[in-house]
Homo-oligomer: A and B are copies of this chain.
Amino acid sequence: MTSTSNPTAAIMIIGDEILSGRTLDSNVNTIAKFLAALGIDLNEVRMVRDVEEQIVSAVVALSSAYDYVFTTGGIGPTHDDITADAMATAFGVGISEHPEALRVLQERADKMGWELNANSRRMARIPDGASLIKNPVSAAPGFQINNVFVMAGVPKIMEGMLSDVAPRLKTGRKVLSWTLKLSYVGESWAADALRDIDNRYADLSLGSYPFGLGQGEFGTQLVVRGQNAESLDAAVSELKAALEPVISEGRKRNPEARLEEITA
């Protein structure tokens, strides 16, 4: 494993639009990158429907298993926005209109020249004891309840909310990574070198991700990840050396066989 002492996290994506195939989720990737930069290990993701029991049982499981849970979706003004109620149920607290949430909603409506109707006002309903998460895009706040950060589903709003979440998180050692691109050699030819280094460097994790698959350029990207820069550098040097004969052999099959560093 790459990280034993880093804080751990899970993501829960809430919404029928994801599970029906209507929408391709991008929030997992955004949050995953955000957490990686903070040295927080993302261990699990769940995607659930707009069904209260499903949301409740998933958040109960995840919030007890990990240090942090990040949810997206279901905090708007319509009937299918049930996340706030589900969180209140999950944590056994009431839900009521939060004065500060109402204030920011009213302020935004005034500024835009809108009337704050009863549906918009529902977005001020926050589980008791939760703290607000600022929404720099459209005002309606998210909230933190215990170790769960409840954010909007709209990617731009969700990203904006992460800025307000970041200072609340314990951070860990950032996971560093190197990527090597092995071209015109199938990944099975690199597998022995990878396995050997994976076995000998217990603090690193190695991955192999094939691309191309026979049409035009093909090969595999080799990713070495870990918290310890020295260990990482040593492993990458060893991997490169171990791949030299693999590439020489590969050139006999395809003269274009080569290894490149694509990130450092």
Identify the A interface with B (CB < 8 A). Answer: 1, 13, 15-26, 28-29, 32-36, 42-51, 54, 76-80, 112-114, 117, 119-120, 137-138, 154, 156-157, 175, 177, 186-192, 194-195, 198-199, 205-210, 213-214, 223, 225, 253
Contact = CB atoms under 8 A, between A and B. Distances in A.
A77 B188 contact: yes
Contacts of A48: 43-44
A177 B20 CA distance: 10
B157 A213 contact: yes
A17 B50 CA distance: 27
Contact of A210 (B33, B76, B186, B187): B76
Given A13-B45, A17-B209, A80-B206, 12 more contacts: A15-B207, A19-B45, A20-B42, A21-B34, A21-B35, A25-B29, A50-B207, A76-B210, A78-B194, A80-B198, A114-B186, A120-B188
Contacts of A157: 213
Contacts of A206: 79-80
3 nearest interchain CB pairs?
A: A21-B32, A45-B47, A21-B33
Given A32-B18, A48-B44, A154 B213 contact: yes
- Secondary structure type dominating chain A contacts: mixed
Given A78-B195, A188-B77, A207 B17 contact: yes
A65 B83 CA distance: 23
B44 A191 contact: no
A20 to B, nearest CB: 6
Given A45-B46, A206-B80, A223 B189 contact: no
Contact of A156 (B17, B51, B213): B213
B32 A20 contact: yes
